[in-house]
C-alpha cells in the first residue's frame, strides 16, 4: 500500500492515519462525519465527498457532504436502485465514471447542485457483506479515478462501516434512530424443508468474525500474525482435504481450487501484506481483500466464478477465525438455531441435540439428507433463505417457521405473540393427532393402510409408540456411523440393533444396510473426489467393493435378530445381479453362524430399495429373488429427472406430482401387485399428505415416513375414498402437463380430503 499513488495524491496510508486521529478526537458524531468527508475531499483533491447511509425503510439518506449543497443533508433520500448512489447500493460494487450525467442510472436531484460535476466515484459501505451505505467523491472535470483512488475510498468505506455499526459514528444523534441499527426486525422468506416452529437464538455454523480493530499499532506484529494465521489456514485446509471433512460446503475439488487461489497465490498474500504496511491490522487487511473480491466476482455472470466467490469467502472467514482464535464448531449454550450457508447431515449431527431447536440455511433442498436428518430430529429447517448468513447476527432472536418456510429475525413483540399463538395451535393439532393415535389407518372406503416410520437414531425409537405406526419401514443404519467419532465396532452395532428391535417390540423393522457416499460422508473415513457423487461410489457399490463393512453389519443384525424376525434391505440396487451378490453375503454369514451353532433369527426377509430406474426394467427376475421392495422416491426421482436432489437451483424444476412420476410408479405397483411382492414407498413423498394421497390413488397400501407425518397422513387417508382417488390419478398420469399438483389439490378440496 503506497504512501502516495501515481498521481502524487496521498495514498491510503496517509488517509488511514488521519482517520485514526479523527476517531480519537473529541467530536460530536455529526461533527466527526463532517470532518471525515472534508478530509477525504482534501486528500483526494475532489470537489465533493458525500456519505449516504441506509435506513431500514430502504432509503439512502445523505448524511454528510463536502461540496454539495449542505441544505440537502438529511433531506436527500434515494431508494436502493435509484440513481448512481442507489445503483451502487443495489449492486454492492464501486462505480467509476468520467461523465456521470450521461450514465443511464443518473438521477438528478436539484437540491444537491450536483449537475456541475462530471466525474464520479462511489463505493459501497459494506459490513459483513451487507450494504449499509455509499461513499462518493465527485469532480468537475471529466476523468476516471485511478485504481489507487478506488482502493483508498474503499478503505475509508470500511472504516465508516465499522464506525456506523459500533454507533460511534452518530452516537445518540437524532438520526441514529432505531432503524439504522442492525437490530431492526427482518422477515426473510425461504422454503420449508422440515416442519415445525422454533423460537430461539442464532448460532452461526461458521461464526462470522466482526473485525473491530482496523488499524495496525505495530506493523511488524501484524505481518507476523498474518503469516501465522496463513500457515494455520493452510494446514487446517490440508487436514480438511485429507480427511474429506465437510466443514466446507462444495465438493473437495472446489475447495481445493479456492484454497489454491487463496493460499498459494502470492498475489493475495502480498496484497494483504501491503495493506498492513499501509497501516491496517491483519484482520482489516483480510476483510479488505474479501470486500474487494466480492465486488469483483459478485456480478460475474459466470456461475462457476460466483461459486468460487463463496469458497473464497469461506476461506477468508476461516483466516479471520484463525487470526482471532475462534473455535471451528461453536458450542451451543441454549435454545440454538443454527444458521449456515449449507450443511451436511453429519455436520448437523455433530451439534448437541438437546440444545438445537431449528436450522436456517441459505441453500438446501427438501430431499437433501440434512433435511431428512432435521426431520428425524423433529426440528424445523427453513432453507433457501437469501442472505441468511450475512443478515443474521450471532445470538439474534429468531423465529423459524418450518410450516410456511419463513424466518423472523429480531421479531417485534406482536410477531412473537402471534407465534406464541401459532405454537399453541400447533400444540393443539399435535394433541389432536395424539388423540387420534389409536384410530385405525383405514380409508373411507374401508382400505387398511400400513403406516410406518422412518428412523435411524435412538431418539427416533419412542416415536413408534407415540405414533402407533405399524413398524419401522426404513431404518437408515448409516446415521449411527455418521454421528460417532469412529466406525462403530461389531459389538456396538449389535447392541444398537438389539435396542431398536427391543423398542419396536413385535412391530416389524426394516434395517437398511449402510447407505454411505454422496452427501453422507464419514468424518473418519477419507473419500476420494468424485465428479458426480450422487451417481458415484456409494451405498451398495461401496459396500460390495469393501465387503468387510457389510459383512460386519449383517453379522451384527443377525446376532441382534436371534429368535426374532429380521428384515434387511439393500440401498441403491441397480440390477438383479447386484442384489443377488449382496444376498449371497447374508447367506454366507448365516452359514457361518450355523457352523458355530449360534442362534439365528426365526425368519429372515431380504429386500431391496428401488431407487435406481434400471431396476424397474428387471422386475420379473427381481420378484423371483426378493422378499419385498421399498421405493426410495428421493433418489429415484433424482435419477428419473437427472436432477440432483441436493442442488438448490433444481428444487422447483420438476414436480413429484407430475405425470411421468405417477406413470412410472403406477407400472411398478401394478406389476408388484400381480406378482404378490410386498411393495412400499419410503421417500419424502410418503410424508406429505397430498403426495401420500396420490400414492394411495396409485395403489400403494404401505408407506413409510418421518414420524411427525403420521398424524397428518392418517387424517388425510381417513377422509379419502381410494377408489375416487384412483380414478383421478389414472386420469392425470397420462397428461402432458409439467405438474398435476393443482388438479390433485382441487380433487382433495372437492372431496373434503383433510390436508392440514
Q: Which residues are catalytic?
A: 369, 682
* 311 or 635: CB nearest Mg ion: 635
Residue number, 474 or 582, with CB nearest to ligand PEP: 474
Least separation in angstroms between CB 635 and Mg ion: 4
From the list Mg ion, ligand PEP, none, partner contacted by residue 567 (C-beta under 5 to 8 A by kind):
none
Work out whether 632 is an interface residue with Mg ion (CB under 5 A). yes
Near ligand PEP in 597-626, by CB under 6 A: 611
Cα 375 from chain centroid (whole Å) = 15
- Alpha helices (runs of H) in 244-302, residue ranges in sequence order: 252-259, 266-277, 282-297
Q: Does 682 bind ligand PEP (CB under 6 A)?
A: yes
632 binds ligand PEP (CB under 6 A): yes
Q: How far apart are CA 311 and CA 256, in angstroms?
A: 9
Query: In terms of CB distance, is 282 or 609 closer to ligand PEP?
Result: 609
Nearer to Mg ion, 170 or 646 (CB): 646
Q: How far apart are CA 297 and CA 287, in angstroms?
A: 15
Query: Residue 162 burial (CB < 10 Å; 0-12/13-18/19+)?
Result: buried
Q: How far apart are CA 571 and CA 516, in angstroms?
A: 9
Regarding 683 and contact with ligand PEP (CB under 6 A), the answer is yes
Which of residues 222 and 519 has its CB atom nearest to ligand PEP in the complex? 519
- Spell out the alpha helix ranges (H) of 147-218: 147-165
* Helices 689-698 & 741-750 angle (0-180, nearest 10): 90
Residue 635 backbone phi and psi in degrees, to 5? -75, -40
Q: Mark 590-629 with x for binding to Mg ion (rule: CB under 5 A) and - for no binding.
A: ---------------------x------------------
Q: Does 635 bind ligand PEP (CB under 6 A)?
A: yes
According to CB under 6 A, which one of 127, 341, 476, 656 is a site residue for ligand PEP? 476
633, 658, 680, 722: residue in contact with ligand PEP (rule CB under 6 A): 633
The minimum distance between CB 137 and ligand PEP, in angstroms, equals 56
Q: Which three cell numbers stand for residue 447?
A: 382400505
Site for ligand PEP in 351-380 (CB under 6 A): 372
Kindly tell me which of 164 and 634 has the beta carbon lying closer to ligand PEP: 634
- For the chain, helix, strand, coil in percent to 5 are 50, 15, 35
Q: Is 473 in the site for ligand PEP (CB under 6 A)?
A: no
Across 176-219, the runs of DSSP E, i.e. the strands, are: 186-189, 191-194, 197-204
Of the candidate residues 34, 222, 362, 515, the single one contacting ligand PEP (CB under 6 A): 515
Site for ligand PEP (CB under 6 A): how many residues? Answer: 11
Helical pair 659-675 and 722-732, crossing angle rounded to 10 deg: 120
The helix/strand/coil state of 15 is: helix
Q: Which of 635, 644, 684, 728 binds Mg ion (CB under 5 A)?
A: 635
CA distance 228 to 108: 50
Q: Does 471 bind ligand PEP (CB under 6 A)?
A: no
Asked if 159 and 215 touch (Cβ cutoff 8 Å), the reply is: no
Based on the shown chain and the rule CB under 6 A, indicate whether residue 651 belongs to the binding site for ligand PEP.
no
Containing H/E element for 220? helix 219-243
Q: Is 634 in the site for ligand PEP (CB under 6 A)?
A: yes
Residue 571 beta carbon to Mg ion: minimum distance, rounded to whole angstroms: 6
- Of 458 and 724, which CB lies nearer to ligand PEP in the complex structure? 458
Residue 683 site contact among Mg ion, ligand PEP, none (CB < 5 to 8 Å, cut-off depends on kind): ligand PEP
Task: For the CB of residue 473, give the shortest distance to Mg ion in the complex, in Å.
Answer: 13
Q: Which residue sits closest to Mg ion, CB atoms considered?
A: 635
Distance, CA of 165 to CA of 191 (rounded, Å): 30
Closest approach, Cβ 547 to ligand PEP, in A, equals 21
Closest by CA to 203, choosing from 70, 44, 369, 400, is 400
State in angstroms the smallest separation of the CB of 481 from ligand PEP: 13
**Binder of residue 699, out of ligand PEP, Mg ion, none (CB less than 5 to 8 A by kind):** none
Site string for ligand PEP, 10-49 (x = CB under 6 A): ----------------------------------------
In the list ligand PEP, Mg ion, none, the entry touching 686 (Cβ below 5 to 8 angstroms by class) is: none
What is d(CA 675, CA 666) in angstroms, rounded to the nearest whole number?
Answer: 14
Q: Give Cβ neighbours of residue 25 (< 8 Å, ≥ 6 apart).
A: 32
**Helix residue ranges per DSSP H, 394-461:** 413-435
Interacting span for ligand PEP (CB under 6 A) from 97-105, 175-183, 282-290, 633-641:
633-641
d(CA 449, CA 473): 13
Angle at 406 between CA 133 and CA 347, to 5 degrees: 90
- Nearest 10 degrees: Cα torsion 643, 648, 652, 653: -30
| Closer Cβ to ligand PEP, 635 or 688, answer by number | 635
Q: What cell does 26 get?
A: 473529541
Judged by beta carbon, residue 250 or residue 683, the one nearer ligand PEP is 683
β-pairing verdict for 471-476 and 509-512: parallel
Query: Given the DSSP bridges, would you call strands 450-455 and 406-409 parallel, antiparallel or unpaired?
Result: unpaired
Cβ 582 to ligand PEP shortest distance, Å: 16
- Pick from Mg ion, ligand PEP, none: which does 372 bind, CB < 5 to 8 A by kind? ligand PEP
Q: Which is nearer to ligand PEP, 632 or 707 (CB)?
A: 632
Distance of closest approach, residue 538 Cβ to ligand PEP, in angstroms: 9
User: Distance between the two ends of the chain, CA-based, in angstroms?
Assistant: 62
227 is written with which cell numbers?
Answer: 503469516
Contacts with ligand PEP, residue ranges (CB under 6 A): 372, 474, 476, 515, 611, 632-635, 682-683
Contacts with Mg ion, residue ranges (CB under 5 A): 611, 632, 635
Amino acid at each position: 500500500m503506497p504512501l502516495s499513488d501515481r498521481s502524487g495524491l496521498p495514498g491510503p496510508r496517509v488517509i488511514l492515519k488521519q482517520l485514526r486521529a479523527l476517531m480519537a478526537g473529541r467530536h460530536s458524531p455529526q461533527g466527526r462525519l463532517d470532518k471525515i468527508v472534508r478530509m477525504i475531499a482534501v486528500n483526494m483533491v475532489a470537489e465533493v465527498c458525500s456519505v449516504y447511509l441506509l435506513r431500514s425503510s430502504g432509503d439512502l439518506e445523505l448524511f454528510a457532504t463536502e461540496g454539495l449543497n449542505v441544505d440537502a443533508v438529511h433531506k436527500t433520500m434515494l431508494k436502493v436502485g435509484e440513481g448512481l448512489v442507489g445503483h451502487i447500493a443495489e449492486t454492492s460494487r464501486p462505480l467509476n465514471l468520467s461523465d456521470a450525467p450521461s450514465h443511464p442510472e443518473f438521477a438528478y436531484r436539484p437540491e444537491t447542485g450536483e449537475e456541475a460535476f462530471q466525474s464520479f466515484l462511489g463505493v459501497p459501505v459494506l459490513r459483513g457483506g451487507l450494504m449499509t451505505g455509499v461513499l462518493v467523491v465527485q469532480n468537475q472535470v471529466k476523468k476516471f479515478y485511478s485504481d489507487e483512488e478506488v482502493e483508498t475510498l474503499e478503505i475509508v468505506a470500511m472504516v465508516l462501516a465499522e464506525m456506523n455499526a459500533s454507533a460511534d459514528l452518530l452516537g445518540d444523534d437524532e438520526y441514529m434512530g432505531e432503524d439504522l441499527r442492525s437490530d431492526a426486525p427482518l422477515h426473510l422468506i425461504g422454503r420449508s424443508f422440515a416442519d415445525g416452529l422454533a423460537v430461539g437464538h442464532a448460532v452461526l455454523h461458521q461464526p462470522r468474525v466482526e473485525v473491530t480493530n482496523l488499524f495496525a499499532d505495530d506493523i511488524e506484529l501484524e505481518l507476523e500474525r498474518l503469516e501465522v494465521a496463513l500457515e494455520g489456514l493452510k494446514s487446517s485446509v490440508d487436514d480438511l482435504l485429507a480427511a474429506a471433512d465437510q466443514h466446507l460446503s462444495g465438493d473437495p475439488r472446489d475447495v481445493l481450487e479456492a484454497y489454491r487461489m487463496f493460499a498459494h497465490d502470492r498475489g493475495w498474500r502480498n496484497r494483504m501484506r501491503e495493506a498492513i504496511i499501509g497501516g491496517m491490522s491483519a484482520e482489516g487487511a483480510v476483510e479488505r481483500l474479501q470486500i474487494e473480491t466480492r465486488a469483483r466476482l459478485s456480478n460475474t455472470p459466470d456461475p462457476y466464478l460466483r461459486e468460487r466467490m463463496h469458497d473464497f469467502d469461506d476461506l477468508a472467514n476461516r483466516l479471520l477465525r484463525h487470526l482471532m482464535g475462534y473455535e471451528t464448531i461453536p458450542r451451543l449454550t441454549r435454545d440454538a438455531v443454527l444458521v449456515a450457508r449449507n450443511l451436511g447431515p453429519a455436520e448437523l449431527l455433530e451439534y448437541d441435540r438437546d440444545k438445537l431447536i431449528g436450522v436456517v440455511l441459505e441453500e438446501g433442498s427438501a430431499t437433501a439428507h440434512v433435511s431428512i436428518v432435521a426431520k428425524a430430529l423433529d426440528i424445523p429447517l427453513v432453507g433457501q433463505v437469501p442472505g441468511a448468513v450475512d443478515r443474521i447476527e450471532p445470538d439474534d432472536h429468531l423465529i423459524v417457521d418450518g410450516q410456511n418456510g419463513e424466518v423472523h429475525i429480531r421479531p417485534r413483540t406482536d410477531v412473537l405473540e402471534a407465534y406464541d399463538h401459532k405454537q399453541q395451535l400447533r400444540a393443539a393439532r399435535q394433541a389432536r393427532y395424539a388423540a387420534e393415535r389409536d384410530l385405525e389407518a383405514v380409508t373411507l372406503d374401508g382400505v387398511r393402510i400400513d403406516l410406518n416410520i422412518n428412523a435411524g437414531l435412538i431418539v427416533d425409537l419412542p416415536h413408534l409408540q407415540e405414533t402407533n405406526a405399524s413398524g419401522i419401514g426404513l431404518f437408515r443404519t448409516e446415521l449411527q456411523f455418521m454421528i460417532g467419532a469412529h466406525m462403530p465396532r461389531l459389538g456396538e452395532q449389535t447392541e444398537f440393533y438389539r435396542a431398536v428391535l427391543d423398542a419396536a417390540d413385535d412391530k416389524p423393522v426394516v434395517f437398511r444396510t449402510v447407505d454411505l457416499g454422496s452427501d453422507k460422508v464419514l468424518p473418519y473415513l477419507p473419500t476420494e473426489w468424485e465428479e458426480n457423487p450422487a451417481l458415484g461410489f456409494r451405498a451398495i457399490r461401496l459396500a460390495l467393493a469393501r465387503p468387510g463393512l457389510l459383512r460386519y453389519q449383517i453379522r451384527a443384525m443377525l446376532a441382534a435378530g436371534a429368535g426374532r424376525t429380521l428384515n434387511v434391505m439393500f440401498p441403491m440396487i441397480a440390477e438383479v445381479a447386484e442384489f443377488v451378490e449382496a444376498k449371497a453375503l447374508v447367506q454366507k454369514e448365516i452359514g457361518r453362524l450355523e457352523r458355530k451353532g449360534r442362534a439365528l433369527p426365526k425368519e429372515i426377509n431380504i429386500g431391496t430399495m428401488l431407487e435406481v430406474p434400471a431396476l424397474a426394467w428387471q422386475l420379473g427376475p427381481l420378484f423371483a429373488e426378493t422378499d419385498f421392495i421399498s421405493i426410495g422416491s428421493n433418489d429415484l426421482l433424482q435419477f428419473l429427472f437427472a436432477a440432483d436432489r441436493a442442488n438448490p437451483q433444481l428444487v422447483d424444476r420438476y414436480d413429484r406430482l407430475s405425470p411421468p412420476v405417477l406413470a412410472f410408479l403406477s407400472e411398478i405397483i401394478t406389476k408388484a401387485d400381480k406378482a404378490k411382492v410386498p411393495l412400499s414407498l419410503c421417500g419424502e413423498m410418503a410424508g406429505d399428505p397430498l403426495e401420500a394421497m396420490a400414492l394411495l390413488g396409485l395403489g400403494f397400501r404401505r408407506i413409510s415416513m418421518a414420524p411427525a407425518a403420521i398424524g397428518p397422513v392418517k387424517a388425510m387417508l381417513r377422509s379419502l375414498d381410494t377408489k375416487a382417488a384412483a380414478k383421478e390419478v389414472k386420469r392425470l398420469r397420462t397428461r402432458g402437463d409439467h405438474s398435476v399438483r393443482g388438479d390433485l389439490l382441487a380433487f382433495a378440496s372437492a372431496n373434503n380430503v383433510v390436508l392440514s
